[in-house]
Structure 1
Amino acid sequence: MENGKFRTLQDELNSQDMVDGHVLVLNHFMSSLKSQAIRCACGLGIPAVLHRLGGSATVANLLDETGLHPSKLPYLRRLMRALTVSGIFAATRGNNITETVYSLTPASRLLVGDTTSSSMSVLQSQRPEKGFAMFFRMEEWFRDDGGAGTLFKMEHGVTSPWELAKENSDYNTGLNKSCVIDTSIVMDVLLRGPSADVFRGVTSLVDVGGGYGAASLAIVGAFPGIKCTVMDLQQVIGEAPDDGVVQFVAGDMFEFVPPAQAAFFKNVLDCWSDDDCVKILRQCKKAIAKRDAGGKVIIINVVVGHGPDNVAAKETQVFYDMYMMSIDGIEREEHEWRDIFIEAGFSDYKITPILGYQSIIEVFP
C-alpha cells in the first residue's frame, strides 16, 4: 500500500515494460495461427505455384494460378503478408510501388510439391484433431490426479499413437508416411557431408523402430556395403514396401534386438521413459559388437541445449518436448542422456549437434 492505495503489478512496470510484455503475451497467444496459415498456404498450393512461376509472383498471379475467386484477393494478400513476417516467404516491391512480389525462402522450398521430400506432406498427413487439438485440454490434464493417464489418452482414449495406429489403419498409414518424409529430409542432410562418417566402417546395422525403412534405404544408398535390418512392430512391417534392399523383421525391442555391428534409432527413444530407454539399450548392448570391433549405437534425437544458438532452434527443442509430453515421452538434456547410457551399461558417448534442433549421438559399449 502506498499513500493509502494498493499497488498493482502493473504499477510496478514502466510504460515500455508494459508495452513489451503485452506484445509478447499477445504474440504467443496468437502463434497457433502460424501453423494454420502454413497449412492453408500448402493446401492452396502456393509454394508449388511460386516454384512453377520461377520462384516469385504477385498476389494477383497467385490468385489466378490457384483458381481462387477474385473476392479473395485482399485476404490472400493478408495471408501472404503474415507468412512473410513469419519467414515462410520473402517479399520485395515490384515495378509498381504498391505491388508486392512474393518469393520462396529455404523454408517454403521444402513445402513445394507433394513428394517424399516435401515437408508439406507432413503438415497435411496429420490432421489437427489427431495432432494438436489435445493441447487445448492441457490445463485440464494438469489438474487431473493422474487417473486420466497421458494427455494423448485423455483425448483419444488410448495411451499412445502406436495403440491408436493398431486400431485405426488410416491413422497407422498416415503416421508411418509422415515418418518416412521426415526421415528422408533428415537423412539427406546427414549423408551429404562429414556427418556421414558416423556410418563409415559399419558393416551391419539394425534400424530399431525403423518404420518403412526410409533411413536404412538412405544409408544403403550411400554405403552399399552395409547390411541393414529394419525392426518394428508387425502392424508397421506388414505395410512396409519390401523391395529386397533391406531386411524387415517384426519384433518388440523391449524383448529382443537382432544382432548387428551397430544399432540405429531415429526419433524413437524420446518416445519412452528413462527406465524404458535403459531396457531398450540393454537389449542393444547384447545385440551389437564390442567397441574394438566397431560396435556402437547411433541415435538421432534432440539434445536440449545443443544446436544452433537461435530462438527458432531453441523453441523447437522445448516445444517438441512439450509435444512428446502428451505421450509421456521426453526430449532430454545431455546429463539426462548420460545417466541413461551409464545405467544401460555403456562406457562413453559423443554428441554431434549438426541436424538443426537435433543431434547425432554415438554411444559406445
Structure 2
Amino acid sequence: MRLLVNSGFFTRSIKGQENQEAEEEEEEEAYALTPSSKLVLKENVTTLSPFVLAMLDPALVNSWQFLGDWFRAGSELTPFGEAHGMGFWDYCDQNAEYGNMFNEGMASDSRLMSLVLMDYAPIFEGLGSLVNVGGGTGTMARIISEAFPHMSCTVFDLPHVVANLPDSSNLIYVGGDMFQSIPSADAILIKASNRFSLLKDLQYFILKWILHDWNDDECVSILKRCKEAITSNGKKGKVIVIDVVIDEEKDEQGIIKTKLLFDALMMVLLTGKERNKKEWEKLFLDAGFSRYKIAASFGMKSVIEIYP
C-alpha cells in the first residue's frame, strides 16, 4: 500500500478511533481512490481497465526482455517480433484471445471520447461526413455519430476487423487497406445511398492513435491516401489526427514520462514512435498538406487538424 500511495494510485489518511476499554484514541489508516485509480474501476463507463490488462499481458511484457539483444543485433524485426517470431498485428490475428483483449482495450480508450466531445465539440460541429480511418470496431465513431446525428460516419479498417459489425442510421463499416486507398465520403455515400442523406461540403477524416504505430514513410503513405480522398471530389475537408505530441519543455500536467514510456513501447512492439511538433510537421508537409494546427490537448493526446 505504501508503494501504491507513493505512486499516486491511492491517498492515505490517519483517522482517530476511540478505544473504550483503554480510554484512549487509536490511530487508524484510511485509503481512498485518486483520479488515476478511478479510471480502472470496472463499473465506470469510461473505465480503462481493459486497456491496462492489454498493456500488461505477458505477450507484451516479455517482449521488453528482448530489447537489448534486438538493439545489439540490429535486427529488422521488432523486439516483439524477436520474442514471438511474428509481428504484433500478425500475433493479434493469430491469437484470438489476445486480439479480442487488445480490441477491447482500444475501445475503452475510445470511450473517453465522450468526455472530449463535451469540451471540444466545435472541432466536430459542421461536419457533413467523417471517415474514421483505422477505426477498429467503431467505438469512437459510434460516440461521435450519436452526438452529431446529422453527420454521416464511416469506420474504415481491415475487412476482417469490420466484418459483420452492425450499421446504424448514420454509421456504416467499410473494409479496405489504408495503405492502398481510402474511399472518399462521396464513394461511401454511393455505396450506402439508401441510408445516408446528401453530404454537406465538409468532409473530415480522423486518425486516432493510428500514426504512432507506423514509421515515418508509412505515416506519409497513409496521410497521402487521406489527402487523395479529400481532394478527389473537389470538396473541402481536413484530417483530424488524435495522437501524442511530445513537448519536453512544457509539461504542465506531469505526463511527459508516460509519453516517453509509450515512445519506448512503440519501439518494442511496432515500427512507430511518439513525435514532437517538428516531427509531426515534417510528416504533414511530406504528405503534401499545406498547413496544420494543434487545436486542443487532453491528457496524453492532442487534436491536430491538417489541411490540404
TM-score (norm 2): 0.85
Q: What is the CA-CA distance between 1:344 and the residue it aligns to? A: 0.8
User: Which of 133, 148, 152 lines up with 1:223 in the alignment?
Assistant: 148
**Alignment pair present for 1:136 and 2:65:** yes
Please give the alpha-carbon distance, in whole angstroms, between the structure 2 residues aligned to 1:203 and 1:361.
19
CA offsets 1:161-204 (integer angstroms, 9 cap, x no match): x211221222221111111001111x1221011x2211111110
CA offsets 1:42-75 (integer angstroms, 9 cap, x no match): xxxxxxxxxxxxxxxxxxxxxxxxxxxxxxxxxx
For residues 145 and 124 of structure 1, do their structure 2 counterparts lie closer, same or farther at Cα, with a shift above 3 Å needed?
closer
Please give the alpha-carbon distance, in whole angstroms, between the structure 1 residues aligned to 2:244 and 2:272.
12
Q: What is the CA-CA distance between 1:81 and the residue it aligns to? A: 2.4
Please give the alpha-carbon distance, in whole angstroms, between the structure 2 residues aligned to 1:111 and 1:167.
28
Alignment coverage as a number of residue pairs: 282
Matched AA of 1:133 = N
Q: What is the CA-CA distance between 1:352 and the residue it aligns to? A: 3.0
The equivalent of 2:189 in structure 1 is none
User: Which of 291, 299, 302 lines up with 1:356 in the alignment?
Assistant: 299
Structure (1 or 2) with the greater helix fraction: 1
Structure 1 unaligned regions, length at least 5:
1-79
**Alignment pair present for 1:121 and 2:50:** yes
Q: What is the CA-CA distance between 1:337 and the residue it aligns to? A: 1.0
Structure 2 unaligned regions, length at least 5:
18-25, 186-202
The equivalent of 2:229 in structure 1 is 287
Could you tell me whether the CA contact under 8 Å between 1:304 and 1:333 is conserved in 2? yes
**Alignment pair present for 1:324 and 2:266:** yes
Matched AA of 2:71 = F
Please give the alpha-carbon distance, in whole angstroms, between the structure 2 residues aligned to 1:323 and 1:204.
33
The equivalent of 2:87 in structure 1 is 159
- Pairing 1:291-310 to 2, within 5 Å after superposition: 293-305=235-247, 309-310=251-252
Please give the alpha-carbon distance, in whole angstroms, between the structure 2 residues aligned to 1:291 and 1:231.
18
Please give the alpha-carbon distance, in whole angstroms, between the structure 2 residues aligned to 1:350 and 1:87.
33
Q: What is the CA-CA distance between 1:358 and the residue it aligns to? A: 1.2
Could you tell me whether the CA contact under 8 Å between 2:238 and 2:307 is conserved in 1? yes
For residues 323 and 334 of structure 1, do their structure 2 counterparts lie closer, same or farther at Cα, with a shift above 3 Å needed?
same
- Pairing 1:171-250 to 2, within 5 Å after superposition: 171-185=98-112, 187-193=113-119, 195-238=120-163, 240-243=165-168, 245-250=170-175
Could you tell me whether the CA contact under 8 Å between 2:51 and 2:102 is conserved in 1? no
For residues 244 and 198 of structure 1, do their structure 2 counterparts lie closer, same or farther at Cα, with a shift above 3 Å needed?
same
Q: What is the CA-CA distance between 1:119 and the residue it aligns to? A: 1.4
Q: Which one has a bigger Cα radius of gyration?
A: 1
The equivalent of 2:192 in structure 1 is none
The equivalent of 1:52 in structure 2 is none
DSSP-derived class of the 2:30 partner: strand
Q: What is the CA-CA distance between 1:258 and the residue it aligns to? A: 1.5
Q: What is the CA-CA distance between 1:364 and the residue it aligns to? A: 0.3
CA offsets 1:205-240 (integer angstroms, 9 cap, x no match): 110000011111111122111111001112211264
Percentage of pairs with the same residue: 36
Could you tell me whether the CA contact under 8 Å between 1:158 and 1:164 is conserved in 2? yes
User: Which of 70, 76, 86 lines up with 2:7 in the alignment?
Assistant: 86
The answer to which structure, 1 or 2, has the higher relative contact order (CA under 8 A, 6+ apart) is 2
The equivalent of 1:95 in structure 2 is 16
What value does the CA root-mean-square deviation take over the aligned residues?
Answer: 2.2
DSSP-derived class of the 2:27 partner: coil
The equivalent of 1:27 in structure 2 is none
Structure 1 moving runs of 4+ over 3 Å: 239-245, 289-294
Could you tell me whether the CA contact under 8 Å between 1:307 and 1:354 is conserved in 2? no
